[in-house]
């Protein structure tokens, strides 16, 4: 009778080595979360690994780059924009874009073994806001192409409902549609959607990695339910995401819900510990 292959074991210590330069408590929290996430979810038999964007993902790449090259040389990292590509390049790891990924024999959509990425806000049901750093379209493409989305964040990002602590939903749009999108978002109930400015670094609007613009749309805090529904003027995550996506000119919405949600979120805490949250349970690590 054929033997089942043994389960792959993690191959990185969850405890980071001393940092090369002094870190603020918030940076240390992000770094602790990143090492725990990589230790738990990057496995020796992985081939394709998604890498998101932001300040926390820097520590995910740092954790991966501490591994002996013999353990990662067979891996290809799917990047999500200029920042993550530079991180992977500087770490001496192999990268490619998502459109080069071969389909397997069955034409499977979820070809990546795992995708690591950050978050701007995470609610109790693990719905996520992303795009605070103007990266969301490629992140969503990578997440929906991965068997598992592992989210890495710090303690400020956990909220009972989205738009409690993060002020607005980032929406990537085509430049020509700006006025139409702004007007449509107002009709959906956003009091003051705004085109994100590049100032002071750049005059004019922020230009995304996909040559789009970003509109930031504030709404009242969202209901976390996963099924589309309305409760008075308050939207739930799925309904609002779908309505925004229907606006002509919208490329992608910075709400990750349903099949786009993380399987697990690692929150670096201010006491140096890490909170590991899934839909089923919450665990504290030291
Ligand atoms: O647009 C940026 C991405 O969605 C980031 O993953 C998100 O903003 C979180 O970034 P950070 O890790 O810097 O908090």
The residue annotated as part of the active site, out of 62, 139, 172, 252, is: 139
**Which residue's CA lies nearest to atom 2 of ligand 1?**
133
117 CA closest ligand 1 atom index: 6
Residue 73 tokens read as 């040389």
Interface confidence: ipTM more than 0.95: yes
Shared domain check, 228 and 141:
no
Pocket of ligand 1 (CB under 6 A): 52-56, 117-120, 130-136, 139
pLDDT at 77: 97
pLDDT at 12: 83
| Beta-sheet pairing, 264-268 with 274-277 | antiparallel
pLDDT at 182: 98
Shared domain check, 145 and 42:
yes
The Å distance, Cα 109 to ligand 1 centre, comes to 24
Shared domain check, 229 and 194:
yes
- Is the residue at 47 inside a domain? yes
pLDDT at 224: 77
- Is the residue at 2 inside a domain? no
Per the structure, the count of domains in the chain is: 2
Q: In terms of residue numbers, what domain contains 267?
A: 25-159+259-285
Q: What is the pLDDT of residues 253-265, one digit of tens each?
A: 999 999 999 999 9
- Is the residue at 124 inside a domain? yes
Shared domain check, 145 and 36:
yes
**Which residue's CA lies nearest to atom 6 of ligand 1?**
118
Q: List, in sequence order, every beta strand (DSSP E) within 6-145.
A: 48-51, 76-79, 95-96, 114-117, 121-122, 128-129
Residue 114 tokens read as 């795992």
Shared domain check, 248 and 131:
no
| Beta-sheet pairing, 282-285 with 274-277 | antiparallel
Q: N- to C-terminal Cα distance for the chain? A: 42
Shared domain check, 94 and 68:
yes
Q: What is the pLDDT of residues 86-138, one digit of tens each?
A: 999 999 999 999 988 876 656 667 889 999 999 999 999 999 999 999 999 99
Q: Is 139 a catalytic residue?
A: yes
- Is the residue at 243 inside a domain? yes
Shared domain check, 265 and 248:
no
pLDDT at 128: 98
H/E segment holding residue 230: strand 230-231
Regions of the chain short of the pLDDT cut 50: 1
d(CA 138, CA 239): 22
Residue 84 tokens read as 């993550």
Shared domain check, 263 and 237:
no
- Is the residue at 14 inside a domain? no
């Amino acid at each position: 009778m054929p033997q089942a292959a043994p389960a792959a074991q993690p191959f990185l210590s969850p405890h980071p080595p001393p940092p090369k330069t002094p870190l603020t408590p918030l940076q240390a929290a992000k770094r602790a979360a990143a090492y725990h996430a990589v230790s738990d979810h990057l496995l020796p038999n992985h081939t394709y690994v998604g890498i998101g964007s932001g300040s926390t993902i820097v520590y995910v790449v740092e954790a991966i780059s501490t591994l002996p090259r013999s353990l990662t040389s067979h891996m290809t990292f799917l990047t999500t924009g200029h920042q993550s590509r530079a991180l992977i390049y500087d770490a001496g790891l192999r990268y490619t874009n998502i459109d080069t990924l071969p389909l397997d024999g069955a034409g499977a959509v979820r070809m990546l073994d795992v995708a690591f990425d950050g978050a701007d806000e995470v609610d109790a049901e693990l719905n996520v806001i992303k795009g605070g750093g103007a990266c969301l379209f490629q992140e969503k493409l990578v997440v929906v192409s991965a068997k598992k989305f592992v989210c890495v964040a710090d303690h400020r990002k956990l909220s009972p409902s989205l738009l409690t602590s993060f002020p607005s939903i980032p929406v990537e749009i085509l430049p020509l549609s700006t006025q139409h999108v702004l007007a449509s978002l107002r009709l959906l109930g956003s009091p003051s959607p705004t085109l994100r400015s590049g100032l002071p670094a750049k005059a004019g609007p922020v230009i995304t990695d996909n040559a789009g613009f970003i509109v930031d749309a504030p709404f009242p805090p969202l209901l976390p339910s996963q099924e589309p529904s309305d409760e008075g003027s308050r939207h739930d995550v799925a309904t609002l995401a779908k309505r925004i996506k229907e606006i002509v000119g919208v490329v992608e919405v910075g709400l990750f819900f349903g099949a786009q949600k993380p399987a697990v979120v690692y929150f670096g805490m201010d006491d140096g510990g890490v909170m590991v949250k899934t839909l089923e349970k919450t665990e504290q690590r030291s």
